[in-house]
Amino acid sequence: MHPHITGKTRIYGLIGDPLKSARSPMLLNRLFAEAQTDAVCIPLEVGTQALAEFVKGARALRNLDGLLVTMPHKQTMLEVVDILHPSARQVGAINVVRCDKDGRWEGAVFDGLGCVLGMQRQGVSVLGKSVLLVGAGGSGRAIAFAVAAAGAYSLTISDLDPHRAADLAQSAGKEGSCNVHAGPPDPEGHDIVINATPLGMNPDDPMPVEAERLTPAMVVVDIITRSEPTALLLTAQARGCKTLDGEPMHLGQALLALDFLGFKNIERRYSKGL
């Protein structure tokens, strides 16, 4: 699915460290090829201490149109872009940078909005629902704002650091009319459960929620992307829950990032389910 590289090919990079398991280049290059767009996404492994040097060199590239940003640079990129999109200012992180023709870089973040969009594309809406979000870190923070803004009735945020959960609840509670508060990782009374922690990436990880309290009416979302379902998703499926892994969020993020980068035709095509 790799596009044919020409002298006019526009370049998009994914920066982070490590990138061995990164899936964004494969997804974006597939979307570029299907849309017959002369563009390519390549992984650029940049260590923490090398970011400033990388940015200095990257700004000299006239055919670099954008960057996708992953760990450990989501927060530090805030200091090197010229413009902060409202999403980046709100969440305090960046996962995509648009390199405009006038030389200015604008940073945005679509982790949370991508999660909500991915859920919607799978027939799951947070509108009027009670949501439990476990994890108040980078992705969890973005998801909290997006869920509250999308019209959830209530949002409970749980984190190993109760102060971080409480601070996020206070900030996200300013979005719309959603009732946001910090609480335990107890699914009881919730319609949707979202795991935004790394728990589940390793076989011996503990459960992120009290899984024995899951009921068939609940939707369980685990944003971890891996070839096999996490223990949480397997348990939820066994208890009759509808489950979603990290793929819908990953695609949702990609579509929103492409729209931000100017690929309106690709975003519209996939927003119609094609």
Task: Please report, for residues 14, 39, 40, 81, 90, the alpha-carbon distance to residue 64 in angstroms, rounded to integers and kept in the order given.
Answer: 11, 10, 10, 14, 26
The one catalytic residue among 20, 74, 129, 242: 74
Give all strands (DSSP E) within the chain, no chain letters: 10-16, 39-45, 64-69, 83-84, 96-99, 105-108, 130-134, 154-158, 179-182, 192-195, 219-222, 242-244
Cβ-Cβ contacts under 8 Å for 215 (sequence gap 6 or more): 187, 239, 240, 241
Are the C-beta atoms of residues 256 and 110 closer than 8 Å to each other? yes
Cis peptide before 248 (omega within 30 of 0): no
Tokens of 2: 């790799």
DSSP 219: E
Our answer to whether residue 74 is catalytic in this structure is yes
| Burial status of residue 166 (CB atoms within 10 A of its CB: 0-12, 13-18, 19 or more) | middle
Are the C-beta atoms of residues 249 and 195 closer than 8 Å to each other? no
Backbone phi, then psi, for 198, in 5-degree steps? -80, -5
Give the three-state DSSP class for 96. strand
Report the DSSP pairing between strands 83-84 and 105-108.
parallel
Compute the distance between CA of residue 163 and CA of residue 168 in angstroms, rounded to an integer. 9
Compute the distance between CA of residue 153 and CA of residue 155 in angstroms, rounded to an integer. 7
Which residues are catalytic, by number?
Answer: 74
